[in-house]
């Protein structure tokens, strides 16, 4: 089985980090993994997206034109990547910055107010971790406990418990947003 996701947004929203953390979780589960980042010409404020492929067999090509899942963090990304979601797939939308929805009826849309959640936790720079928590909880592309262990390993490296505590807090808020229904689903 092969699963794919494209995370897309502006540079500076942590898109690449979210994809990398997901890829590390896939590797921790012993899966085949590809992580392909793509940057616009600007560092912050430009376009940024990455595709993560996780499979239980060799990955023939890491290039995915019609991913099973897409998580968009801004409106230009919705316009560019929303039409590419494979029929039956999941489109997750950062509803804090995107006030429209896709008109597609052949996918599941889940709205998660990533910025609002992160800001409420006084951690506005961690919208990517809110989104990652929501994504993993909604899709099960990797196990929640595996993703938590990766967060602990990566943020525990910082040498301070505060970084791990803050990362875990926003990640779990994203999980709750989906599991407790804060992430509104649309047909």
Cβ 11 vs Cβ 47: under 8 Å: yes
CATH number for the region 2-96+107-180 comes to: 3.40.920.10
Question: In the prediction, which pLDDT does 100 show?
Answer: 93
- Judge whether residue 151 has pLDDT over 70: yes
Cβ 66 vs Cβ 86: under 8 Å: yes
Count of Cβ atoms closer than 10 Å to residue 44 Cβ: 9
**DSSP letters along 52-76, please?**
EEEESS--S-S--SS-SEEEESSHH
Question: In the prediction, which pLDDT does 95 show?
Answer: 96
Pairing of strands 47-55, 32-39: antiparallel
Mean pLDDT confidence for 155-166: 78
Of residues 159 and 98, the one with the higher pLDDT is 98
Domain ranges of the chain: 2-96+107-180
Cβ 126 vs Cβ 167: under 8 Å: yes
Question: In the prediction, which pLDDT does 187 show?
Answer: 45
| Percentage of the chain lying above the pLDDT 90 cut | 78
Mean pLDDT confidence for 37-57: 82
Cβ 70 vs Cβ 48: under 8 Å: no
User: What are the tens digits of pLDDT across the range 95-150?
Assistant: 999 999 999 999 999 999 999 999 999 998 899 999 999 999 999 999 999 999 99
Compute the distance between CA of residue 14 and CA of residue 20 in angstroms, rounded to an integer: 10
Phi, psi (degrees; rounded to nearest 5) at 70: -140, 135
Q: What is the pTM of this model?
A: 0.92
Calculate the alpha carbon distances from 31 to 23, 53, 107 in Å. 9, 10, 26
């Amino acid at each position: 089985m092969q699963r794919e996701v494209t995370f897309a947004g502006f540079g500076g929203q942590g898109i690449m980090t979210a994809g990398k953390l997901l890829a590390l979780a896939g590797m921790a589960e012993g899966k085949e993994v590809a992580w392909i980042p793509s940057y616009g010409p600007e560092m912050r404020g430009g376009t940024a997206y990455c595709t993560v492929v996780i499979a239980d067999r060799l990955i023939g090509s890491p290039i995915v034109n019609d991913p099973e899942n897409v998580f968009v963090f801004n409106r230009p990304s919705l316009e560019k990547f929303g039409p590419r979601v494979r029929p039956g797939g999941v489109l997750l939308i950062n509803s804090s910055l995107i006030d429209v929805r896709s008109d597609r009826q052949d996918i599941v849309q889940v709205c998660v107010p990533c910025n609002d959640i992160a800001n409420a936790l006084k951690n506005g720079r961690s919208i990517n971790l809110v989104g990652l928590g929501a994504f993993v909880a909604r899709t099960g592309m990797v196990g929640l406990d595996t993703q938590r262990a990766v967060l602990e390993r990566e943020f525990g490296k910082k040498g301070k418990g505060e970084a791990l505590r803050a990362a875990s807090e926003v990640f779990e808020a994203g999980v709750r947003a989906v599991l407790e229904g804060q992430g509104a689903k649309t047909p």
